[in-house]
Amino acid sequence: MASTSLLPQPTESQQYKYITHDHLDADWLGSASRLMQYFDGSFENDESTSIDARYEPGALVWVLQSKGRQHANFNTEAVCSSFMLNKKRRDKKDARVMKKKMMMAEEGETSNEHENDDANRAVIEDELEGSDNIYTRYHSRSEWFQRARVVRDDDPLEDCASFEQRMQRRVKVRYSRGSTYRVRAYNLVPVIEQSIQTDRKSSLPPMVIVTPETNIYRRISRAHTTPDDSFMEIGCDYGITVEKIRKCMEDAGVPVVWPVESTDGIVDLQQKEEDSKASCLGVDRSKESIGIANERFPQCKFSLCNVLKPDELASLNKLCQQSLKGGAPSVIAIDINGNRDVDGVLECLQAVMNEKWIRHPRLIVVKSRFLYWDLRKIRK
């Protein structure tokens, strides 16, 4: 892939902006204008340009747990269940690799091709390991607490304050139940919520966020999916990501910017019916994976589907209309094997973007090592 012109785009709606997770992890402070500067190539994320930048009041953020509040809830049964599930997944992967090697051997392919593939993959993995910035490393190792709104970011800083000193400042936030707290800046993760993408002043376009690894892919999906969204994962496997999204949508809350007066007890039956629908849906082409996902996470919705087949995509449309909040996903996550060749990932993206009933989701999160590194090369 030589340029952004080869990246999939919808044919009849607003164009997507492609961004890698580490650029989104940078110090954009929940500001749509700062993100737009990145898209325009005019944003420099260094100490000299960010020293005076602050969160705007009302910005939605995730608050990470400080080390003093983190505690592990050790559950022996859950740990054993997770271990067996991971073992089963590894066995399936090993079987697929062995089958592929046997097929290649029968076709007379040489081992030199495999050695070259392994060498190229090792180079990419080494480059990826060195690419994570300070935000990515810290956020990936921290536990998530709750969503909050920024009240003010006015902690005094000296003119010559270093980047580390700046990240130590405290920002006052308000949680959904009304309590306020002053949180260290490094414990805040800004959220791309629907309102800053629909605001005409910001003009923030829909985005494709590309990640190389599963833990980062899940973190980005969880960070930017809010209770106002409906979420669908393509390639959900055993449903772990879908369940994580469901829990954070239901448990963490979203504080309003201004207090909202309650209505006079009028019940909107149409809204009540909409609220009864699932907010998260997972699809996969493996019947075994969907069966396990349904058994493990009954509060989520899972369905057998290969989105690259038009007839199955049409069936998915009916399912979303009946069971998914809003009738179509506003956030889509795609994980069809992070080591898959770029062409397969791009084909999936194109199919999603051009399907009219999906209605142009505001965010698409993709796990693909090769697409991630291609994008980093383009940005350079």
Phi-psi map region of 58: left, alpha, beta (phi>0 left; psi -120 to 50 alpha): left
- The pTM assigned to this predicted structure is 0.78
Interacting residues of 16 by C-beta distance below 8 A, sequence separation 6+ = 7, 9, 10, 205, 206, 207, 208, 353, 364
Between these two residues, 305 and 66, which has the higher pLDDT value? Answer: 305
Give dist(CA 309, CA 320) in Å, integer: 17
Residues 158-179, buried b or exposed e (16+ Cβ, 10 A)? eeebeeeebbebebbbbbeeee
Q: What is the pLDDT of residue 124?
A: 45
Q: Given the structure tokens 């449309």, which residue do they identify?
A: 317
For the ranges 16-25, 52-61, 295-304, the one whose mean pLDDT is highest = 295-304
- Sheet with 180-184, strands from edge to edge, namely 180-184, 170-175, 144-152, 60-64, 188-190
**Nearest CA-CA partner of 305 in 239, 234, 366, 360:** 234
Q: Given the structure tokens 């130590």, which residue do they identify?
A: 168
pLDDT at 278 over 70: yes
Question: CA-CA-CA-CA torsion for 332, 333, 336, 337, nearest 10 degrees?
Answer: 170
What does DSSP assign to residue 128? H
pLDDT tens digit sequence for 338-372:
566 788 899 999 999 988 889 889 999 999 998 99
3 state SS of 124: helix
pLDDT at 22 over 90: no
Determine what percent of the chain is predicted with pLDDT higher than 90: 38
pLDDT at 71 over 90: no
DSSP-assigned beta bridge partners for residue 172: 152, 182
Give dist(CA 185, CA 50) in Å, integer: 13
pLDDT tens digit sequence for 108-159:
654 454 444 444 444 444 444 444 455 565 665 678 889 999 999 999 988 7
Tell me phi and psi for residue 151, to 5 degrees.
Answer: -90, -50
Confidence of residue 68 (pLDDT cuts 50, 70, 90): low
365: enclosing H helix or E strand: strand 363-367
What does DSSP assign to residue 178? S
Question: CA-CA-CA-CA torsion for 336, 340, 345, 351, nearest 10 degrees?
Answer: -60
Give dist(CA 207, CA 227) in Å, integer: 19
Q: What is the pLDDT of residue 264?
A: 47
Give dist(CA 78, CA 239) in Å, integer: 15
Q: What is the pLDDT of residue 202?
A: 66
Q: Given the structure tokens 């009933």, which residue do they identify?
A: 357
Cα–Cα distances (Å) from 372 to 151, 286, 368, in that order, read 35, 25, 6
Mean pLDDT of the region 265-276 = 50
Domains of the chain by residue range = 10-65+128-256+276-379, 76-109
Phi-psi map region of 41: left, alpha, beta (phi>0 left; psi -120 to 50 alpha): left
What does DSSP assign to residue 161? -
DSSP secondary structure letters along 245-290 = HHHHHHHS----SS-----SS---HHHHHHHTSBSEEEEES-HHHH
Q: What is the pLDDT of residue 356?
A: 87
pLDDT at 193 over 70: yes
Give dist(CA 228, CA 116) in Å, integer: 46
**Nearest CA-CA partner of 241 in 221, 211, 213:** 221
Specify the CATH number of the domain 10-65+128-256+276-379. 3.40.50.150
Q: What is the pLDDT of residue 263?
A: 44
Confidence of residue 28 (pLDDT cuts 50, 70, 90): confident
